[in-house]
């Protein structure tokens, strides 16, 4: 579970968002897949296989503060 949240805490947190909203989907993916934030932010539509309910992580997004 993401960020050390228990399964129950994750469910409670996700339930605060409207089901189907972009934040709901974002946190569902983060919590249940183990995907990192930068990996999730770098996903493109072409990385998602909707027919087989899979996605491929092949990039990451990184912010560098100078």
**15-64 residue pLDDT tens:** 999 998 988 988 888 888 888 889 998 989 999 999 999 999 989 988 88
At 64 the pLDDT is 86
pTM: 0.67
Helix count (H) and strand count (E) of the chain? 3, 2
Does the structure show a pLDDT above 90 at 3?
no
Residue 49's Cβ-count burial label (10 Å; 0-12, 13-18, 19+) is: exposed
At 2 the pLDDT is 55
At 52 the pLDDT is 94
In sequence order, what are the residues at sequence separation of 6 or more whose Cβ sits closer than 8 angstroms to the Cβ of residue 29? Answer: 35, 40
Note whether 39 and 60 are within 8 A (CB).
Answer: yes
């Amino acid at each position: 579970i993401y960020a050390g949240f228990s399964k129950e805490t994750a469910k409670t947190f996700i339930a605060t968002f409207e089901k189907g909203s972009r934040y709901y989907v974002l946190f569902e993916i983060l919590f249940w897949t183990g995907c990192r934030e930068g990996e999730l932010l770098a996903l493109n539509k072409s990385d998602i296989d909707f027919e087989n309910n899979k996605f491929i992580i092949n990039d990451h997004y990184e912010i560098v503060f100078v």
